[in-house]
Structures are given as C-alpha cells and as structure tokens.
Amino acid sequence: MPIYEYRCSSCGHELEALQKISDAPLQECPACEKTTLNKLISAAGFRLKGAGWYETDFKTGKKKNLAEKAKAESKPKTGGCGSGGCGAC
C-alpha cells in the first residue's frame, strides 16, 4: 500500500497517509479542519506485507533466515496436537 504525503495550503500542516491506490485523496486538514489539503509529489513509499516477497519466498540456503526464524517462533512449544506430542500426529 502506498504512503502519500499531504500539505495543507491554509495552515501548512504536513502528514503522511497509508492509503490504497483506489482511495480518494484526503481533503480535510486534521489540524485546521479546512478542505485545503493537497497531495504532494514525492518519492514512492510503500510497505510489503505477507508472503510472496523476496525474503520469504526466493532466498535459498542460509540467506533464508528471517522467514525460517518467524516460522520457528510461531510453532507451539508445548506437546499439543500438531507438534508430534500426541499419538494422533
């Protein structure tokens, strides 16, 4: 999701907003509450979330440490079902 920058032409307040590309631009300034907020042209900023990115899917061998560490931390540490601790697994 892109991060957009805005500046109010009335009071000069600046802010960043995490929005979908399909979302309408913000218009009302949270500082002065006037509808004079303008989207700025700036370098693209975005956040990568979920699986399907280089770190989780395309690294090999020892380079794949972050994805494997996250998987290991999410596994249950008790002998519950799914961990091999019961006879059903």
Buried b (16+ CB within 10 A) or exposed e, 25-56: ebeebeeeeeeebeeeeeeeeeeeeeeeeeeb
Q: Is the pLDDT of residue 69 over 60?
A: yes
Q: What's the average model confidence in pLDDT over 1-5?
A: 87
Domains defined along the chain, listed by start? 2-44 (2.20.28.10)
User: What pTM was computed for the model?
Assistant: 0.50
Q: Is the pLDDT of residue 60 over 70?
A: no
Coil, helix or strand at residue 70: helix
